[in-house]
A and B are shown apart, each in its own frame.
Chain A
Protein backbone atom coordinates (compact mmCIF):
# COMPACT_ATOMS: atom_id res chain seq x y z
CA UNK A 1 0.00 0.00 0.00
CA UNK A 2 1.24 3.49 -0.71
CA UNK A 3 1.57 6.42 1.65
CA UNK A 4 -1.69 8.20 1.02
CA UNK A 5 -4.52 5.83 0.30
CA UNK A 6 -7.41 6.90 -1.88
CA UNK A 7 -10.71 5.11 -2.10
CA UNK A 8 -13.71 5.52 -4.37
CA UNK A 9 -16.99 4.79 -2.59
CA UNK A 10 -20.44 4.11 -3.99
CA UNK A 11 -23.69 4.52 -2.10
CA UNK A 12 -27.08 3.31 -3.34
CA UNK A 13 -29.10 1.93 -0.42
CA UNK A 14 -32.30 3.97 -0.91
CA UNK A 15 -33.11 7.35 -2.55
CA UNK A 16 -29.56 8.43 -3.17
CA UNK A 17 -27.03 7.35 -5.73
CA UNK A 18 -23.71 8.88 -4.80
CA UNK A 19 -19.99 8.43 -5.47
CA UNK A 20 -17.09 9.92 -3.59
CA UNK A 21 -13.32 9.93 -3.50
CA UNK A 22 -11.61 10.20 -0.12
CA UNK A 23 -7.95 10.36 0.79
CA UNK A 24 -6.18 9.21 3.88
CA UNK A 25 -4.76 12.69 4.45
CA UNK A 26 -7.32 14.89 2.73
CA UNK A 27 -10.48 13.28 4.05
CA UNK A 28 -13.41 13.83 1.71
CA UNK A 29 -12.18 15.03 -1.70
CA UNK A 30 -15.33 14.74 -3.81
CA UNK A 31 -18.89 13.71 -3.13
CA UNK A 32 -21.18 13.64 -6.17
CA UNK A 33 -24.80 12.59 -5.88
CA UNK A 34 -28.15 12.39 -7.56
CA UNK A 35 -31.28 11.81 -5.49
CA UNK A 36 -34.39 10.03 -6.74
CA UNK A 37 -37.52 12.03 -5.98
CA UNK A 38 -40.82 10.18 -5.95
CA UNK A 39 -43.97 12.02 -7.05
CA UNK A 40 -45.67 14.28 -4.46
CA UNK A 41 -47.54 12.39 -1.77
CA UNK A 42 -45.94 9.02 -2.44
CA UNK A 43 -43.08 7.07 -0.97
CA UNK A 44 -40.04 5.45 -2.46
CA UNK A 45 -40.70 2.77 -5.05
CA UNK A 46 -37.68 0.42 -5.03
CA UNK A 47 -37.76 -0.52 -8.72
CA UNK A 48 -38.18 3.08 -9.84
CA UNK A 49 -35.43 4.24 -7.53
CA UNK A 50 -33.19 1.53 -8.97
CA UNK A 51 -34.01 2.67 -12.52
CA UNK A 52 -33.07 6.17 -11.50
CA UNK A 53 -29.78 4.95 -10.03
CA UNK A 54 -28.97 3.00 -13.21
CA UNK A 55 -29.56 6.03 -15.38
CA UNK A 56 -27.31 8.34 -13.35
CA UNK A 57 -24.61 5.92 -12.16
CA UNK A 58 -22.04 6.49 -14.92
CA UNK A 59 -22.33 10.26 -14.76
CA UNK A 60 -22.14 10.47 -10.95
CA UNK A 61 -19.09 8.20 -10.77
CA UNK A 62 -17.36 10.18 -13.52
CA UNK A 63 -18.09 13.42 -11.68
CA UNK A 64 -16.61 12.10 -8.46
CA UNK A 65 -13.46 10.90 -10.23
CA UNK A 66 -13.00 13.96 -12.47
CA UNK A 67 -13.40 16.50 -9.71
CA UNK A 68 -10.83 14.61 -7.67
CA UNK A 69 -8.42 15.59 -10.39
CA UNK A 70 -7.51 11.99 -10.62
CA UNK A 71 -6.33 10.01 -13.57
CA UNK A 72 -9.58 8.21 -13.30
CA UNK A 73 -9.48 4.96 -11.44
CA UNK A 74 -5.70 4.72 -11.66
CA UNK A 75 -5.43 7.06 -8.74
CA UNK A 76 -7.57 5.09 -6.28
CA UNK A 77 -6.43 2.06 -4.32
CA UNK A 78 -9.79 0.39 -3.82
CA UNK A 79 -13.46 0.59 -4.74
CA UNK A 80 -15.90 0.49 -1.83
CA UNK A 81 -19.63 -0.02 -2.09
CA UNK A 82 -22.59 -0.13 0.23
CA UNK A 83 -23.40 -3.82 0.73
CA UNK A 84 -26.46 -3.13 2.89
CA UNK A 85 -28.75 -2.74 4.65
CA UNK A 86 -31.21 -1.22 2.25
CA UNK A 87 -33.52 -1.88 -0.66
CA UNK A 88 -32.46 -4.85 -2.78
CA UNK A 89 -32.92 -3.34 -6.26
CA UNK A 90 -31.13 -0.13 -5.25
CA UNK A 91 -28.28 -1.94 -3.53
CA UNK A 92 -27.71 -4.10 -6.60
CA UNK A 93 -27.13 -1.06 -8.81
CA UNK A 94 -24.34 0.08 -6.51
CA UNK A 95 -22.83 -3.39 -6.26
CA UNK A 96 -22.88 -3.92 -10.03
CA UNK A 97 -21.33 -0.51 -10.65
CA UNK A 98 -18.56 -1.16 -8.13
CA UNK A 99 -17.94 -4.63 -9.56
CA UNK A 100 -17.58 -3.25 -13.09
CA UNK A 101 -15.17 -0.56 -11.91
CA UNK A 102 -13.15 -3.08 -9.97
CA UNK A 103 -12.94 -5.51 -12.90
CA UNK A 104 -12.00 -2.76 -15.31
CA UNK A 105 -9.26 -1.35 -13.09
CA UNK A 106 -8.04 -4.37 -11.21
CA UNK A 107 -8.58 -2.48 -7.92
CA UNK A 108 -9.87 -4.50 -4.96
CA UNK A 109 -13.47 -4.28 -3.80
CA UNK A 110 -14.38 -3.38 -0.23
CA UNK A 111 -17.89 -4.01 1.14
CA UNK A 112 -19.19 -1.43 3.61
CA UNK A 113 -22.12 -1.44 5.97
CA UNK A 114 -24.15 1.67 5.27
CA UNK A 115 -24.96 2.41 8.91
CA UNK A 116 -21.35 2.03 10.03
CA UNK A 117 -20.59 4.43 7.17
CA UNK A 118 -22.78 7.12 8.75
CA UNK A 119 -20.94 6.71 12.04
CA UNK A 120 -17.39 6.69 10.68
CA UNK A 121 -17.94 9.67 8.40
CA UNK A 122 -19.47 11.49 11.38
CA UNK A 123 -16.35 10.76 13.43
CA UNK A 124 -14.11 12.00 10.62
CA UNK A 125 -16.00 15.24 10.14
CA UNK A 126 -16.61 16.13 13.79
CA UNK A 127 -13.45 14.76 15.36
CA UNK A 128 -15.41 12.47 17.69
CA UNK A 129 -13.21 9.68 19.04
CA UNK A 130 -15.19 7.42 21.34
CA UNK A 131 -18.72 8.73 21.12
CA UNK A 132 -22.10 7.50 22.10
CA UNK A 133 -23.86 7.55 18.73
CA UNK A 134 -27.41 8.54 17.88
CA UNK A 135 -28.11 7.24 14.37
CA UNK A 136 -31.34 8.69 13.03
CA UNK A 137 -32.41 8.27 9.43
CA UNK A 138 -35.02 6.68 7.25
CA UNK A 139 -33.55 3.24 7.89
CA UNK A 140 -32.42 3.52 11.50
CA UNK A 141 -33.20 4.97 14.87
CA UNK A 142 -30.59 3.65 17.27
CA UNK A 143 -28.40 4.59 20.18
CA UNK A 144 -25.01 2.87 19.92
CA UNK A 145 -21.73 2.53 21.73
CA UNK A 146 -18.60 0.75 20.55
CA UNK A 147 -17.48 -2.20 22.65
CA UNK A 148 -15.70 -5.48 22.02
CA UNK A 149 -15.08 -4.74 18.38
CA UNK A 150 -18.66 -3.95 17.36
CA UNK A 151 -21.13 -1.10 17.59
CA UNK A 152 -23.49 -2.31 20.27
CA UNK A 153 -27.14 -1.25 20.19
CA UNK A 154 -28.17 0.30 23.52
CA UNK A 155 -31.61 1.40 22.40
CA UNK A 156 -33.61 1.52 19.20
CA UNK A 157 -37.04 1.89 17.72
CA UNK A 158 -39.45 -1.00 18.09
CA UNK A 159 -41.43 0.03 15.02
CA UNK A 160 -40.98 3.13 12.83
CA UNK A 161 -37.73 5.03 12.45
CA UNK A 162 -37.71 8.80 12.99
CA UNK A 163 -37.26 9.27 9.25
CA UNK A 164 -40.26 7.09 8.48
CA UNK A 165 -42.38 8.91 11.04
CA UNK A 166 -41.59 12.31 9.51
CA UNK A 167 -41.97 11.05 5.94
CA UNK A 168 -45.26 9.33 6.59
CA UNK A 169 -46.88 12.27 8.33
CA UNK A 170 -45.50 14.57 5.63
CA UNK A 171 -46.89 12.39 2.87
CA UNK A 172 -50.21 12.32 4.67
CA UNK A 173 -50.55 16.04 3.99
CA UNK A 174 -49.27 15.62 0.43
CA UNK A 175 -45.53 16.32 0.62
CA UNK A 176 -43.07 14.26 -1.43
CA UNK A 177 -40.60 12.29 0.63
CA UNK A 178 -38.08 12.91 2.01
CA UNK A 179 -40.05 15.60 3.85
CA UNK A 180 -37.88 16.30 6.89
CA UNK A 181 -36.87 19.79 5.84
CA UNK A 182 -40.40 20.95 4.94
CA UNK A 183 -41.75 19.58 8.20
CA UNK A 184 -39.10 21.42 10.20
CA UNK A 185 -39.88 24.67 8.40
CA UNK A 186 -43.62 24.34 8.91
CA UNK A 187 -43.19 23.33 12.56
CA UNK A 188 -41.14 26.47 13.19
CA UNK A 189 -44.26 28.53 12.42
CA UNK A 190 -46.25 26.94 15.24
CA UNK A 191 -46.10 26.88 19.02
CA UNK A 192 -49.38 25.16 19.69
CA UNK A 193 -48.84 21.75 21.24
CA UNK A 194 -51.43 19.08 20.52
CA UNK A 195 -51.16 16.04 22.75
CA UNK A 196 -49.67 12.92 21.24
CA UNK A 197 -48.81 9.58 22.85
CA UNK A 198 -45.38 9.45 24.45
CA UNK A 199 -43.93 5.92 24.44
CA UNK A 200 -40.63 4.88 25.92
CA UNK A 201 -40.07 1.19 26.65
CA UNK A 202 -36.91 0.72 28.63
CA UNK A 203 -34.17 2.03 26.36
CA UNK A 204 -36.32 1.62 23.29
CA UNK A 205 -38.78 3.92 21.62
CA UNK A 206 -41.98 3.48 19.68
CA UNK A 207 -43.36 6.01 17.19
CA UNK A 208 -46.32 4.17 15.71
CA UNK A 209 -48.69 5.70 18.29
CA UNK A 210 -47.43 9.18 17.43
CA UNK A 211 -48.04 8.57 13.73
CA UNK A 212 -51.56 7.20 14.16
CA UNK A 213 -52.61 10.05 16.44
CA UNK A 214 -50.99 12.69 14.23
CA UNK A 215 -52.73 11.40 11.10
CA UNK A 216 -56.00 11.51 12.98
CA UNK A 217 -55.36 15.15 13.94
CA UNK A 218 -54.68 16.03 10.30
CA UNK A 219 -57.83 14.25 9.19
CA UNK A 220 -59.77 16.11 11.88
CA UNK A 221 -58.71 19.43 10.33
CA UNK A 222 -55.86 20.46 12.64
CA UNK A 223 -53.47 22.90 10.94
CA UNK A 224 -50.53 20.88 9.55
CA UNK A 225 -47.92 23.16 11.15
CA UNK A 226 -49.41 22.50 14.62
CA UNK A 227 -49.34 18.77 13.95
CA UNK A 228 -45.74 18.89 12.70
CA UNK A 229 -44.72 20.97 15.70
CA UNK A 230 -46.33 18.49 18.07
CA UNK A 231 -44.88 15.48 16.26
CA UNK A 232 -41.40 16.97 16.48
CA UNK A 233 -41.71 17.98 20.13
CA UNK A 234 -43.00 14.55 21.09
CA UNK A 235 -40.81 12.31 18.96
CA UNK A 236 -37.65 14.30 19.61
CA UNK A 237 -38.29 14.40 23.37
CA UNK A 238 -38.70 10.61 23.30
CA UNK A 239 -35.46 10.27 21.35
CA UNK A 240 -33.62 12.65 23.66
CA UNK A 241 -34.88 10.80 26.72
CA UNK A 242 -33.50 7.41 25.67
CA UNK A 243 -30.28 9.06 24.50
CA UNK A 244 -29.93 10.62 27.94
CA UNK A 245 -30.44 7.26 29.60
CA UNK A 246 -27.67 5.78 27.47
CA UNK A 247 -25.41 8.74 28.16
CA UNK A 248 -25.94 8.32 31.91
CA UNK A 249 -25.38 4.57 31.62
CA UNK A 250 -22.16 4.72 29.58
CA UNK A 251 -20.74 7.96 30.99
CA UNK A 252 -19.67 8.91 27.45
CA UNK A 253 -18.30 12.44 27.02
CA UNK A 254 -19.18 12.75 23.34
CA UNK A 255 -22.54 12.35 21.67
CA UNK A 256 -22.32 12.00 17.91
CA UNK A 257 -25.50 12.56 15.92
CA UNK A 258 -25.59 11.10 12.40
CA UNK A 259 -28.12 10.16 9.72
CA UNK A 260 -30.51 12.26 7.68
CA UNK A 261 -32.62 13.48 10.63
CA UNK A 262 -29.44 14.88 12.24
CA UNK A 263 -30.00 17.93 10.04
CA UNK A 264 -33.02 18.93 12.14
CA UNK A 265 -32.09 21.90 14.34
CA UNK A 266 -34.82 21.49 16.92
CA UNK A 267 -33.57 18.00 17.68
CA UNK A 268 -29.96 19.06 18.10
CA UNK A 269 -31.09 21.91 20.34
CA UNK A 270 -32.86 19.41 22.60
CA UNK A 271 -29.86 17.09 22.60
CA UNK A 272 -27.54 19.97 23.52
CA UNK A 273 -29.72 21.02 26.45
CA UNK A 274 -29.78 17.45 27.65
CA UNK A 275 -26.06 16.78 27.20
CA UNK A 276 -25.09 19.92 29.10
CA UNK A 277 -26.15 18.31 32.36
CA UNK A 278 -23.86 15.36 31.66
CA UNK A 279 -20.97 17.55 30.57
CA UNK A 280 -20.94 15.74 27.25
CA UNK A 281 -20.40 17.54 23.98
CA UNK A 282 -22.85 17.09 21.14
CA UNK A 283 -21.26 16.63 17.74
CA UNK A 284 -23.62 16.79 14.81
CA UNK A 285 -22.53 15.70 11.36
CA UNK A 286 -22.57 18.74 9.01
CA UNK A 287 -25.91 18.92 7.15
CA UNK A 288 -24.42 18.40 3.67
CA UNK A 289 -23.16 15.00 4.88
CA UNK A 290 -26.07 13.96 7.11
CA UNK A 291 -28.05 12.31 4.34
CA UNK A 292 -26.86 9.20 2.50
CA UNK A 293 -23.71 9.87 0.53
CA UNK A 294 -20.77 8.20 -1.16
CA UNK A 295 -18.34 9.76 1.30
CA UNK A 296 -19.61 7.59 4.16
CA UNK A 297 -18.89 4.50 2.08
CA UNK A 298 -15.57 5.71 0.70
CA UNK A 299 -14.23 6.75 4.11
CA UNK A 300 -15.32 3.57 5.89
CA UNK A 301 -14.00 1.60 2.92
CA UNK A 302 -10.67 3.30 3.41
CA UNK A 303 -10.59 2.42 7.11
CA UNK A 304 -11.52 -1.19 6.36
CA UNK A 305 -9.06 -1.53 3.51
CA UNK A 306 -6.26 -0.12 5.62
CA UNK A 307 -7.13 -2.70 8.28
CA UNK A 308 -6.75 -5.45 5.70
CA UNK A 309 -10.37 -6.02 4.76
CA UNK A 310 -11.24 -6.47 1.12
CA UNK A 311 -13.26 -8.99 -0.83
CA UNK A 312 -11.44 -11.96 -2.32
CA UNK A 313 -13.14 -11.42 -5.67
CA UNK A 314 -16.18 -10.03 -7.41
CA UNK A 315 -18.08 -13.22 -6.67
CA UNK A 316 -18.24 -12.08 -3.05
CA UNK A 317 -19.73 -8.71 -3.92
CA UNK A 318 -23.26 -9.60 -2.94
CA UNK A 319 -25.80 -7.33 -1.27
CA UNK A 320 -27.36 -7.83 2.17
CA UNK A 321 -30.73 -6.16 2.52
CA UNK A 322 -30.88 -6.56 6.27
CA UNK A 323 -27.39 -6.55 7.61
CA UNK A 324 -27.37 -5.95 11.34
CA UNK A 325 -25.11 -3.15 12.38
CA UNK A 326 -24.02 -4.93 15.54
CA UNK A 327 -22.63 -7.90 13.59
CA UNK A 328 -20.24 -5.79 11.51
CA UNK A 329 -16.59 -6.28 12.41
CA UNK A 330 -14.74 -3.00 12.87
CA UNK A 331 -11.06 -3.98 13.11
CA UNK A 332 -9.92 -0.38 12.57
CA UNK A 333 -11.36 0.54 15.99
CA UNK A 334 -9.56 -0.50 19.17
Chain B
Protein backbone atom coordinates (compact mmCIF):
# COMPACT_ATOMS: atom_id res chain seq x y z
CA UNK B 1 0.00 0.00 0.00
CA UNK B 2 1.13 3.48 -0.80
CA UNK B 3 0.88 6.38 1.62
CA UNK B 4 -0.83 9.18 -0.29
CA UNK B 5 -1.47 11.64 2.50
CA UNK B 6 -0.24 12.25 6.00
CA UNK B 7 -2.64 14.51 7.82
CA UNK B 8 -2.85 15.98 11.26
CA UNK B 9 -5.34 13.33 12.26
CA UNK B 10 -5.20 10.47 9.77
CA UNK B 11 -2.88 8.69 7.38
CA UNK B 12 -4.38 7.84 4.01
CA UNK B 13 -3.13 4.93 1.90
CA UNK B 14 -3.98 3.79 -1.58
CA UNK B 15 -4.49 0.07 -1.91
CA UNK B 16 -6.99 -2.38 -3.28
CA UNK B 17 -10.29 -3.86 -2.18
CA UNK B 18 -11.69 -6.74 -4.20
CA UNK B 19 -9.69 -5.71 -7.28
CA UNK B 20 -10.74 -2.09 -7.05
CA UNK B 21 -8.51 0.82 -6.15
CA UNK B 22 -9.35 1.77 -2.58
CA UNK B 23 -8.42 4.32 0.05
CA UNK B 24 -7.49 3.23 3.58
CA UNK B 25 -7.96 6.00 6.08
CA UNK B 26 -6.48 5.29 9.50
CA UNK B 27 -6.79 7.64 12.44
CA UNK B 28 -3.53 7.45 14.32
CA UNK B 29 -3.17 7.77 18.06
CA UNK B 30 -2.35 11.35 19.01
CA UNK B 31 0.14 11.25 21.83
CA UNK B 32 -0.69 14.68 23.22
CA UNK B 33 -4.19 13.51 24.11
CA UNK B 34 -4.97 11.40 27.13
CA UNK B 35 -5.08 7.80 25.74
CA UNK B 36 -8.62 7.15 26.99
CA UNK B 37 -9.90 10.37 25.45
CA UNK B 38 -7.90 9.76 22.28
CA UNK B 39 -9.19 6.22 21.74
CA UNK B 40 -12.73 7.38 22.22
CA UNK B 41 -12.45 10.25 19.77
CA UNK B 42 -10.80 8.14 17.08
CA UNK B 43 -13.34 5.35 17.16
CA UNK B 44 -16.26 7.78 17.42
CA UNK B 45 -15.06 9.84 14.48
CA UNK B 46 -14.52 6.72 12.39
CA UNK B 47 -17.99 5.29 12.84
CA UNK B 48 -19.48 8.73 12.62
CA UNK B 49 -17.69 9.45 9.35
CA UNK B 50 -18.97 6.18 7.93
CA UNK B 51 -22.56 7.01 8.88
CA UNK B 52 -22.39 10.49 7.44
CA UNK B 53 -20.82 9.33 4.16
CA UNK B 54 -23.71 6.95 3.83
CA UNK B 55 -26.29 9.65 4.61
CA UNK B 56 -24.67 12.10 2.21
CA UNK B 57 -24.94 9.68 -0.66
CA UNK B 58 -28.57 9.27 0.32
CA UNK B 59 -29.02 13.04 0.07
CA UNK B 60 -27.71 13.01 -3.48
CA UNK B 61 -24.29 14.39 -2.68
CA UNK B 62 -21.43 12.47 -4.28
CA UNK B 63 -19.25 10.84 -1.61
CA UNK B 64 -17.03 7.74 -1.83
CA UNK B 65 -18.50 4.26 -1.63
CA UNK B 66 -17.69 2.63 1.68
CA UNK B 67 -16.09 -0.82 1.59
CA UNK B 68 -15.18 -1.51 5.21
CA UNK B 69 -15.52 0.19 8.60
CA UNK B 70 -13.68 -0.68 11.80
CA UNK B 71 -14.12 1.76 14.68
CA UNK B 72 -11.85 -0.32 16.96
CA UNK B 73 -8.94 0.04 14.56
CA UNK B 74 -10.08 3.57 13.61
CA UNK B 75 -10.04 2.38 10.00
CA UNK B 76 -12.21 3.21 6.98
CA UNK B 77 -11.79 1.59 3.59
CA UNK B 78 -13.53 3.36 0.71
CA UNK B 79 -13.64 3.93 -3.00
CA UNK B 80 -10.61 5.67 -4.46
CA UNK B 81 -12.03 8.73 -6.17
CA UNK B 82 -10.10 9.60 -9.33
CA UNK B 83 -9.33 13.26 -9.85
CA UNK B 84 -7.64 16.27 -8.31
CA UNK B 85 -8.33 18.08 -5.08
CA UNK B 86 -10.29 21.30 -5.57
CA UNK B 87 -7.42 23.08 -3.81
CA UNK B 88 -4.99 22.02 -6.56
CA UNK B 89 -7.49 22.79 -9.32
CA UNK B 90 -8.13 26.33 -8.05
CA UNK B 91 -4.42 27.03 -7.74
CA UNK B 92 -3.78 26.09 -11.35
CA UNK B 93 -2.46 29.24 -13.07
CA UNK B 94 -4.66 28.37 -16.06
CA UNK B 95 -7.79 28.56 -13.91
CA UNK B 96 -10.30 30.91 -15.51
CA UNK B 97 -12.96 32.97 -13.79
CA UNK B 98 -15.56 31.08 -15.74
CA UNK B 99 -14.36 27.66 -14.59
CA UNK B 100 -14.10 28.94 -11.01
CA UNK B 101 -17.74 30.05 -11.22
CA UNK B 102 -18.84 26.63 -12.51
CA UNK B 103 -16.98 24.87 -9.71
CA UNK B 104 -18.33 27.30 -7.12
CA UNK B 105 -21.91 26.80 -8.25
CA UNK B 106 -21.58 23.02 -8.24
CA UNK B 107 -19.99 23.07 -4.81
CA UNK B 108 -22.72 25.42 -3.54
CA UNK B 109 -25.44 23.04 -4.74
CA UNK B 110 -23.72 20.10 -3.03
CA UNK B 111 -23.38 21.97 0.26
CA UNK B 112 -27.02 23.02 0.07
CA UNK B 113 -28.12 19.43 -0.49
CA UNK B 114 -26.15 18.38 2.57
CA UNK B 115 -27.63 21.18 4.64
CA UNK B 116 -31.12 20.41 3.41
CA UNK B 117 -30.58 16.88 4.71
CA UNK B 118 -29.45 18.24 8.08
CA UNK B 119 -25.79 17.37 7.56
CA UNK B 120 -23.12 19.93 8.34
CA UNK B 121 -19.83 18.82 6.81
CA UNK B 122 -17.74 20.43 9.53
CA UNK B 123 -14.52 20.68 7.51
CA UNK B 124 -15.39 22.36 4.24
CA UNK B 125 -11.98 23.19 2.88
CA UNK B 126 -10.90 22.90 -0.74
CA UNK B 127 -8.73 19.92 0.28
CA UNK B 128 -11.83 17.90 1.00
CA UNK B 129 -13.37 18.06 -2.46
CA UNK B 130 -12.18 15.97 -5.38
CA UNK B 131 -12.80 17.20 -8.93
CA UNK B 132 -13.02 14.35 -11.40
CA UNK B 133 -15.32 12.34 -13.64
CA UNK B 134 -17.29 15.49 -14.47
CA UNK B 135 -18.36 16.18 -10.91
CA UNK B 136 -17.29 17.05 -7.41
CA UNK B 137 -16.99 14.40 -4.72
CA UNK B 138 -16.99 15.40 -1.07
CA UNK B 139 -14.72 13.52 1.32
CA UNK B 140 -13.52 13.74 4.92
CA UNK B 141 -16.73 13.78 6.94
CA UNK B 142 -15.01 13.11 10.26
CA UNK B 143 -16.09 16.43 11.77
CA UNK B 144 -19.59 16.42 10.34
CA UNK B 145 -22.56 17.00 12.60
CA UNK B 146 -26.29 16.53 12.25
CA UNK B 147 -28.07 19.80 12.78
CA UNK B 148 -30.93 21.95 11.56
CA UNK B 149 -29.54 25.16 13.01
CA UNK B 150 -28.86 28.14 10.81
CA UNK B 151 -25.83 28.89 12.96
CA UNK B 152 -24.20 25.56 12.09
CA UNK B 153 -24.89 26.06 8.39
CA UNK B 154 -23.22 29.45 8.62
CA UNK B 155 -20.19 27.95 10.39
CA UNK B 156 -19.83 25.53 7.46
CA UNK B 157 -20.02 28.37 4.94
CA UNK B 158 -17.64 30.45 6.94
CA UNK B 159 -14.90 27.84 6.80
CA UNK B 160 -15.08 27.54 3.05
CA UNK B 161 -15.05 31.31 2.76
CA UNK B 162 -11.99 31.56 4.99
CA UNK B 163 -10.13 28.88 3.09
CA UNK B 164 -10.94 30.30 -0.30
CA UNK B 165 -10.15 33.87 0.68
CA UNK B 166 -6.90 32.86 2.30
CA UNK B 167 -5.47 30.38 -0.13
CA UNK B 168 -7.06 31.14 -3.48
CA UNK B 169 -7.15 34.89 -3.43
CA UNK B 170 -7.26 35.39 -7.20
CA UNK B 171 -10.44 33.44 -7.84
CA UNK B 172 -12.04 33.76 -4.43
CA UNK B 173 -14.64 36.41 -5.29
CA UNK B 174 -16.22 34.78 -8.37
CA UNK B 175 -15.98 31.40 -6.70
CA UNK B 176 -17.75 32.48 -3.51
CA UNK B 177 -20.43 34.43 -5.34
CA UNK B 178 -21.33 31.44 -7.51
CA UNK B 179 -21.15 29.17 -4.52
CA UNK B 180 -23.88 31.18 -2.81
CA UNK B 181 -25.86 31.30 -6.06
CA UNK B 182 -25.63 27.50 -6.34
CA UNK B 183 -26.60 27.21 -2.68
CA UNK B 184 -29.72 29.28 -3.23
CA UNK B 185 -30.73 27.24 -6.30
CA UNK B 186 -31.28 24.35 -3.90
CA UNK B 187 -32.30 26.04 -0.66
CA UNK B 188 -33.95 29.18 -2.00
CA UNK B 189 -33.08 32.86 -1.70
CA UNK B 190 -34.63 33.41 1.71
CA UNK B 191 -32.68 30.68 3.48
CA UNK B 192 -29.51 31.63 1.66
CA UNK B 193 -29.84 35.27 2.68
CA UNK B 194 -30.48 34.21 6.27
CA UNK B 195 -27.40 31.98 6.24
CA UNK B 196 -25.29 34.80 4.78
CA UNK B 197 -26.51 37.19 7.50
CA UNK B 198 -25.68 34.64 10.18
CA UNK B 199 -22.26 34.19 8.62
CA UNK B 200 -21.61 37.93 8.86
CA UNK B 201 -22.80 37.90 12.47
CA UNK B 202 -20.46 35.05 13.41
CA UNK B 203 -17.58 36.87 11.79
CA UNK B 204 -18.31 39.97 13.86
CA UNK B 205 -18.90 38.22 17.14
CA UNK B 206 -16.23 35.54 16.86
CA UNK B 207 -13.42 37.98 16.27
CA UNK B 208 -13.43 39.20 19.78
CA UNK B 209 -15.19 37.16 22.39
CA UNK B 210 -15.57 39.81 25.08
CA UNK B 211 -14.25 39.56 28.58
CA UNK B 212 -17.47 39.48 30.54
Contact = CB atoms under 8 A, between A and B. Distances in A.
B32 A153 contact: no
A86 B31 contact: no
A140 B209 contact: yes
Contacts of A154: 162, 166
Contact of A237 (B7, B37, B123, B202): B37
B207 interface: yes
Interface in B31-72: 31-34, 36-38, 40-41
Contact of B8 (A85, A160, A247, A270): A247
B30 A274 contact: yes
A245 B143 CA distance: 13
Given A193-B34, A193-B37, A201-B122, A43 B143 contact: no
Contacts of A120: none
Contacts of B207: 153, 156, 322, 324-326
Interface string A264-295: 00000111011000000000000000000000
Interface in B150-166: 152, 155-156, 158-159, 162, 166
A161 B32 contact: no
Contacts of A159: 209
Contact of B211 (A87, A147, A193, A201): A87
A195 B38 CA distance: 12
Given A248-B7, A248-B8, A204 B211 contact: no
Given A14-B211, A193-B37, A203-B159, A158 B206 contact: yes
B210 interface: yes
B30 A157 contact: no
B32 A237 contact: yes
A273 B32 contact: yes
A226 interface: no
Given A147-B166, A273-B32, A157 B209 contact: yes
Given A202-B155, A247-B8, A324-B207, A237 B34 contact: yes
A164 B208 CA distance: 12
A200 B211 contact: no
A163 B212 CA distance: 11
Contacts of B33: 233, 237, 240, 270
A87 to B, nearest CB: 6
Given A154-B162, A273-B32, A202 B156 contact: yes
Given A193-B36, A269-B32, 11 more contacts: A13-B211, A44-B212, A195-B40, A198-B41, A202-B125, A202-B158, A233-B34, A234-B37, A237-B34, A322-B210, A325-B207
13 contacts: A44-B211, A85-B210, A153-B162, A157-B209, A204-B206, A233-B33, A240-B32, A248-B7, A273-B31, A274-B30, A321-B210, A323-B208, A325-B208
